[in-house]
Amino acid sequence: MPAPTARRPGRRARHLAVPGALALALACATNPVTGKKQLAFISEKDEIALGQQSAAQVKEQMGEYPDKKLQEYVSGVGLELAKKSERPNLPWSFTVIDDPTVNAFALPGGPIFVTRGLLTHMTSEAELAGVLGHEIGHVTARHSVEQLSKAQLAQLGLGLGMVLSESVRNVGQAAMAGLQLLFLKYGRDDERQADQLGFKYMVGDGYDPRQMAEMFDTLRRSSAASGAGRVPEWASTHPDPGDRAAKARERASKLEGDPSRLKVRREEFVSHLEGMTFGEDPRQGYMEGNSFVHPGLKFRLDLPEGWKSQNLPQALMAVSPGQDAAFQLTVAGKMSPEEASRKFFAQEGVQPAKLAGASPPPNGGYFQAQTQQGALGGLVTFVSHEGMTFMLLGYAPAEKLPAADPAFRKTMASFRTLTDPAALGVQPAKVALVKLPRDMTVSQFAVQYPSTAPPEVLAIINGVEGDEAMKAGTTAKRVVGGMPTPARAAR
């Protein structure tokens, strides 16, 4: 939860349902890759609009990694690949998001995202091209459009908009369409096709396709070792259709000519990683027991025991063990707490309420809102801190509010200024580069160039197996700095 940026009012994505037999008649479109008929309730125009809206939401919710040169570099690689695809005229964009998870994902119509966590685990531009080519393949083959169309046809209620009603969006800031699409899983056939397309695109742009096999090995090895972030792991959103690395090697072996003449660009790629944040960034908030500590915004808050938390760029969210109550902390802006409270209760669909035997907190109170799932009850208060106003919000089904109220009130009362110098000064771990003076095994490298990451992690991020030797003259990655305490960044 870094310092907030300006928030644009959310807009509900347009529903594209078409009734009855007419829907089936209109649902068949021609796949741009195969030329065959494909289920699609969404036109290309609407696909692009959905992708653009969702991309804005993802950037707002997840946060872009603050490195302009890195963003331009990744974008340049991606755009060159996209030009050679079956849909070169889409409004393609390639963005690095500030998340430690090892993943990449595509949205309909052209927006593609890679996490900084994925980049720190790569070792060459060819690996980057392979991953971006794979995600481009999902877009060119309209895989997300087909998945969404199947969901609509089955009336699964994905909806392309808010999970809850408009009033709850105003109250709870629930996950938006962009994040719903982020968690959309492709089928194995889609994954196979995206692998094949990614292979074609990277070879078409002159990259050594053998590097994609190396990347698949790294993804497999990192799935258990990488830190948890705000987005799912690659393995969670990209079901493995078998041994992808073996299939990638087999595909590469059938190429004519000498693949060693194709682009790898290890050194050029790795040079962009110097100083990159590695793993979770504690300055954006971390858990210490049941306390949420935010060095960047200088506050501390105690969450109820046993509640699960997730730290998003715009909000801290926590959910009760029974998933029947939720708490949220967000920045309301620079308005006064009194003004923020008036604005909250002026929202359409939000009604002031009372709770028997309970007194409302200052600059806030109890409320009720109607949702598609029934009446929602909650408690809200606004607090001034460091020149900003924070909203502390608890909500539950109306009938369960009395039981959740003590936890809400205790959590809100625990909000306080962070004064611990050690917590205020905490810094994230960073990638540091070393030009190897001689051949070194990973264990030798770890001894000569101490790292806060263990040797098994160093092996993964340098693309070597076990204690394999790294060659003299190559640039190796190590990890320096980070938190000296066992505290963990908030999930």
Domain boundaries, the chain: 20-273, 283-423, 428-489
**337 vs 325: CA distance, rounded Å:** 24
> pLDDT grade, residue 305 (50/70/90)?
very high
Check residue 384 and give its pLDDT.
96
Check residue 399 and give its pLDDT.
94
Span 32-36, mean pLDDT? 59
Span 182-202, mean pLDDT? 81
In the chain, the N- to C-terminal Cα span, in Å, equals 11
Predicted TM-score (pTM) of this structure: 0.76
Check residue 60 and give its pLDDT.
82
Mean pLDDT (the chain) is 82
Is the pLDDT assigned to residue 444 strictly greater than 50?
yes
Q: pLDDT digits over 368-407, tens only?
A: 998 777 889 999 999 999 999 999 999 999 999 999 999 9
Fold of the domain built from segment(s) 283-423: Protein Transport Mog1p; Chain A (3.40.1000)
Check residue 314 and give its pLDDT.
76
Q: pLDDT digits over 414-431, tens only?
A: 999 999 999 999 999 999
Check residue 64 and give its pLDDT.
94
Q: CB–CB of 171/393 below 8 Å?
A: yes
CA distances from 34 to 83, 143, 193 (A): 18, 12, 10
Check residue 183 and give its pLDDT.
47
Q: Which of 157, 163, 167, 156 has its CA nearest to residue 177?
A: 163
Q: pLDDT digits over 60-119, tens only?
A: 878 899 999 999 999 999 999 999 999 999 999 999 999 998 889 998 899 999 999 999
Is the pLDDT assigned to residue 146 strictly greater than 90?
no
> Of 21 and 476, which is predicted with more confidence?
476
> Of 178 and 271, which is predicted with more confidence?
271
Check residue 486 and give its pLDDT.
42
Residue 15, CB-side half-sphere exposure with 13 Å CA sphere:
13
Q: CB–CB of 120/74 below 8 Å?
A: no
> pLDDT grade, residue 145 (50/70/90)?
low
Give residue 182's Cα distance to chain centre.
Answer: 7
Check residue 10 and give its pLDDT.
33
Is the pLDDT assigned to residue 4 strictly greater than 50?
no
